[in-house]
Amino acid sequence: MLTQPISIDSRMRIPIDRCTNPRLDAEAVANFKLSNVPSDHLYIAEYAHKEWRKERIAPYRPLQLTPLSLGLHYAQQVFEGMKAYRMNDGRVGVFRTDRHAQRFNASLRRMAMPEVPAEMFANAVHTLVDLERDWVPPGPDSAYYIRPFVIATEERIGLKPSEEFMFLVGGGPFRPVYPKPLRVRVERYYTRAAKGGTGFAKCGGNYAAAMLPTIEANEAGYDQVLWTDANEHEYIEESGTMNVMFIINDVLTTAPLGDTILDGITRDSILVLARERGITVDERSVSVTELRERILDGSLTEAFGVGTAASVAPITTVGIDGQDYNLEIKPDAVMFSFKQQLLDIRTGAAPDMHNWMTIIDGYVK
Ligand SMILES: *Cc1c(COP(=O)(O)O)cnc(C)c1O
């Protein structure tokens, strides 16, 4: 669902305590020396007595937390990952804030945490980006990465759902994490997500549980795990922090959404663009057996990951039961046309037909 842009007059002004000695400088950002470095400000709101309050933006600094914060022990934690882009005309735009707010709240509900009203979420993100607009780097693969998150802060030893939380938004200049084509290994033992579990939520625990399997895949020479279903380890789900797509006989094929799949906003955007271009889309589970056969008979021509971090990441090798299957990556591949189309929308080179971009202007006086 598209939300109407909030008029500037109806926006709540967030109190800002400006940073007086910036940690980053514009030249460093432009010269692309920085990646995953937090920028100068942090947005914070606190939840207690069943309401969000004390919204503010302050210089980036360590938090004060009681060591007995429930979130540190029982992983009541949820996050988002989204980006602001430097457009060709110099303006700054944020991609699909409304969808990120929606997914944030779906994750929060699953983790028994209070929702953040979509307008509050949007205002927090957009105000922070407006304040930090100088840190939004130019260039096709660069962006300002935005990290909204909520943590449980109530002090307590015993297990219970927290009644106190912090909502924070930070960010920083970013360059892509998957510059090279990926080697992925089909996971036949470990499970990322099971029916009824938390796979669809962007909650910290999911990623902690994926680290050991990923390290083992790395040690075997792969970049990422290609996750399979929890029951049979036979149906492809997704990979790392990316949804996975295949082109099979010219059909764009990807796993259907459900409670084991993260509802990726890049995934959704590419499916919208593909359907508009008349490309057939099939949201269905692909088995490992089918994957192997279709790579071998040449009907599977492309495999790629899609996510905010890398946008589109080509997969060059799929490891299945100790055997590597290779895919040729052609410059005129369909995946690159999606990547270009997304880039054009984000930079303003193509019209934003779906109102995916919010132009950031006037949030900070
Ligand atoms: C964030 C994420 C994705 C991609 O979602 P985007 O909204 O496209 O960034 C896919 N899978 C997992 C597990 C993720 O955490």
Query: Which among 191, 242, 257, 260 is the best mutation to test ligand 1's pocket, defined by most ligand atoms within 8 Å of the CB?
Result: 242
Nearest protein CA to atom 1 of ligand 1, as residue: 241
Comparing 97 with 178, which gets the higher pLDDT?
97
**Least confident window among 8-22, 156-170, 201-215, 241-255:** 8-22
Q: What pLDDT was estimated at residue 19?
A: 94
- Ligand 1 near 241 CB (within 6 A): yes
The CA-based angle 149-265-191, given to 5 degrees, is 75
The mean pLDDT value for 297-304 works out to 98
Q: Which helix (H) or strand (E) holds 175?
A: none
pTM of the model: 0.95
* Cα(183)–Cα(325) distance, integer angstroms: 10
Does pLDDT of 34 surpass 70? no
* Cα(58)–Cα(65) distance, integer angstroms: 16
Cα 201 to chain centroid, rounded:
11
State which amino acid sits at residue 223.
Answer: D
- Ligand 1 near 242 CB (within 6 A): yes
Which residues lie closer than 8 Å to 114 by C-beta, 6 or more apart?
A: 47, 50, 52, 108, 150, 165
pLDDT tens digits, 314-360: 999 999 999 999 999 999 999 999 999 999 999 999 999 999 999 99
Find the DSSP H helices in 111-160.
118-131
State which amino acid sits at residue 69.
Answer: S
Which residues lie closer than 8 Å to 304 by C-beta, 6 or more apart?
A: 244, 245, 312, 313, 314, 315, 335
Comparing 9 with 283, which gets the higher pLDDT?
283
Nearest protein CA to atom 15 of ligand 1, as residue: 241
pLDDT band for 2, please (50, 70, 90 cuts).
very low
pLDDT tens digits, 140-154: 889 999 999 999 999
